[in-house]
A = this chain, B = another copy of it.
Amino acid sequence: MELDPWKISDISNYEQLFNFGMRSFSPFHSHYSDNRYMRRGIIFGHRDFEKIDRAISRKEPFIMMTGLMPSGRFHFGHKMVADEIVWFQGKGARVYIAIADIESYLMRGVPLDIAKKIALEEYIANYIALGLDPERSHFWFQSSYRPEYYRLSDMAAQEITLNELRAIYGDLTPSKIISVLKQVSDILHAQLPELEGKLPTVVPVGADQDPHIRLTRDIASRLSRTYDFELPSATFHRFMEGLQGGKMSSSDQKSYIALTESPESAKKKVMSAKTGGRETADEQRRLGGVPEQCVVYKLYYYHLVDDDREMERIYNECKTGAILCGECKRRCASMLEDFLQNHQEKMRAARDTAKQVISEQRSEFGGEK
């Protein structure tokens, strides 16, 4: 069964990344059949994942690090990362989650108190509702943390030139430089002797984040006079497309469904989503639809349908013209409704848990703002 209709077309899109040392995730796809994103090739690339694979299979310690930039609502694009975090935690990862409030202040002008509210009530609450165990997760705000974290970020400045940064990030500003240096410390600092010590570290990211992963790996090896880091590993996933095609982005309401959105609103968005349908019903019955171009299909594929056989059935129904877009969308909306109701019930408790855990972990560093 050719279950993944994007595999070929997408790998040709993402293929150029492999030139820079990113490698195909396919050797691991079958190994982690319990992970939908891995099994279906949505996670398509990696760097040094062998280290993580080894740690998981030997039940040895490793770190899973991710960062969240608190701006806008938590949507199905963000859910992919959340699911990956939860999965890695299940595999024994020590979970480290940066709340990138300095970055969102510098790059998007979000005030720190707003960023804090969004981080807690949107992102972390959703992570918890999606299955994250917050007690076994380490959170920090870039704006308020331990001195080793800042020391590492500052010392990393010595290891890069403005030209290198310009080659990766285009036009520079002091804000961009600070954001990059904070990210480097976000990824590496868990390996400091004061925290976990030197350990394999995996960062699950979208493909567009690879330049940053490469830079962090370069800096980590250049810092070897002073620090002793395992070069961080990464997995790379494809993006969840926006509902109208293009990018799913929290700055465009029509492009996303938030996990806290009302089922009615979500249904409306699904009903007007871009599909792979034909011009007329008649044509579609004759030629079949094009699931490869359909956002509704992607919602099933990424998020709503875990059973591969059911997924195959849906794919074939579309391809053979056995189902038309209207009916398919109603089915999708109904699944979505179930998911959202269930999820939003969990959110009530999750919001309280988020606040409590963060305030406990935060009090350690002082500097409440």
Binding site for B on A (CB under 8 A): 102, 105-106, 111-112, 142-148, 150-151, 154-155, 157-158, 160-162, 165, 172-175, 177-178, 181-182, 194, 226, 365-367, 369
Report B-chain residues with C-beta under 8 Å of the C-beta of A158.
105-106, 174-175
Contact A369 B151 (CB under 8 A): yes
* Interchain residue pairs A-B with the least CB separation, the first 10: A147-B367, A157-B174, A144-B147, A157-B178, A150-B150, A143-B151, A157-B175, A148-B367, A102-B154, A158-B175
Contact A146 B181 (CB under 8 A): no
Report B-chain residues with C-beta under 8 Å of the C-beta of A160.
174
Contact B143 A154 (CB under 8 A): yes
Contact A146 B106 (CB under 8 A): no
Show 12 residue pairs from A and B whose CB-CB distance is below 8 angstroms, ordered by the A residue.
A102-B154, A102-B155, A105-B158, A112-B151, A143-B151, A146-B366, A148-B367, A151-B367, A157-B177, A161-B174, A165-B174, A174-B177
Report B-chain residues with C-beta under 8 Å of the C-beta of A226.
111
Report B-chain residues with C-beta under 8 Å of the C-beta of A142.
154
Q: How would you classify the secondary structure of chain A's contact residues: helix, strand, loop or mixed?
A: helix
Contact B178 A154 (CB under 8 A): yes
Contact A173 B162 (CB under 8 A): yes
Contact B148 A106 (CB under 8 A): no
State how many angstroms separate the Cβ of A196 from the closest Cβ of chain B: 16
The residue on B at minimum CB distance from A174 is B157
Contact A365 B147 (CB under 8 A): yes
State how many angstroms separate the Cβ of A117 from the closest Cβ of chain B: 16
State how many angstroms separate the Cβ of A369 from the closest Cβ of chain B: 7
Docked CA distance A181–B177 (Å): 12
Partner of A174, one of B106, B143, B181, B369: B181
Report B-chain residues with C-beta under 8 Å of the C-beta of A157.
106, 173-175, 177-178
The residue on B at minimum CB distance from A145 is B147
Contact A106 B154 (CB under 8 A): yes
Contact A147 B151 (CB under 8 A): no
Contact A367 B194 (CB under 8 A): yes
The residue on B at minimum CB distance from A101 is B151
Docked CA distance A145–B144 (Å): 11
Report B-chain residues with C-beta under 8 Å of the C-beta of A111.
226
Docked CA distance A158–B146 (Å): 22
Report B-chain residues with C-beta under 8 Å of the C-beta of A155.
102, 105-106
Docked CA distance A155–B113 (Å): 14
Contact A151 B161 (CB under 8 A): no
Q: Given A154-B106, A155-B105, A162-B173, A146–B367 Cβ distance below 8 Å?
A: yes
Docked CA distance A157–B142 (Å): 14
